[in-house]
Structure 1
Amino acid sequence: TFDYFMSLVLFAWATDALDGYFARKSGHSGKFGSREGWVDWVFYIACFFCSTYLGYYSYFFFIGIILVNLFVYFFIKKSDSVQMSFEFIYILLSFRVLYQESPFWTLVVVGWTGFIIAFKWNRLKDQILYFFRGWK
């Protein structure tokens, strides 16, 4: 059900936030952690697919967005900034579904997002600067 899915999403977000935080604090950031961006992309695609499966988006739209994402990344500008832009699109599309499906989970996600922004404020500022530098 939707509640099980959202519980899994919340667990994935928590582990993603905490593992990176503790790895950086302990100085144990490794090669795998520096290459985990594809895991985030797959996660966002999975959320977008669930939104499509629930009937909020057509499969044509789903496939079209992914193909545009891959085309732009591989043939126009291969950068993390491109991926971050598309991840933001996937987040917005999934959040629309969340808002329509469950007011409770919408509040949980908004609260969690606020907590993460406060918890990782300096990292967020660095990522925003990194994002804008990547488009130059």
Structure 2
Amino acid sequence: MKKLAAGMMITLVFGLTACGSSSDTASSKPADQAQSTSAGSSSLSSSTTTTGGGDAKAIMAKSSCESCHGQNLQGGAGPNLQKVGSKLSEEQIVKQIKNGSGSMPGGLIKDDKDIQTVAKYLSQQK
């Protein structure tokens, strides 16, 4: 039981550290690698949302969102976001990105246009 508790604490601490950091490796990954290639993740939109703020998946990779939510939004240290649009509106997602909640820190994405781009994309995940 002590080993399980210690393992969970290490995972939590590592997950929070990874969520708050920005990595050059993540930002140098092409956006097309961030898209799902497996048939099992068909709930993800095959196209990304692009607005004045740029490509949603590239923004998410640059902001280290994948370190907690997974490359295919399947979850991990953070919740699964593959169907988040059926639970939260675009406005609620914007608020979550800006302010954070629980173990998610706010302000990982700084630019308002980028926040809108990511929120719009995630709100379409149903």
Structure whose residues are more often strand by fraction? 2
**TM norm structure 2:** 0.36
Structure whose residues are more often helix by fraction? 1
**TM norm structure 1:** 0.34
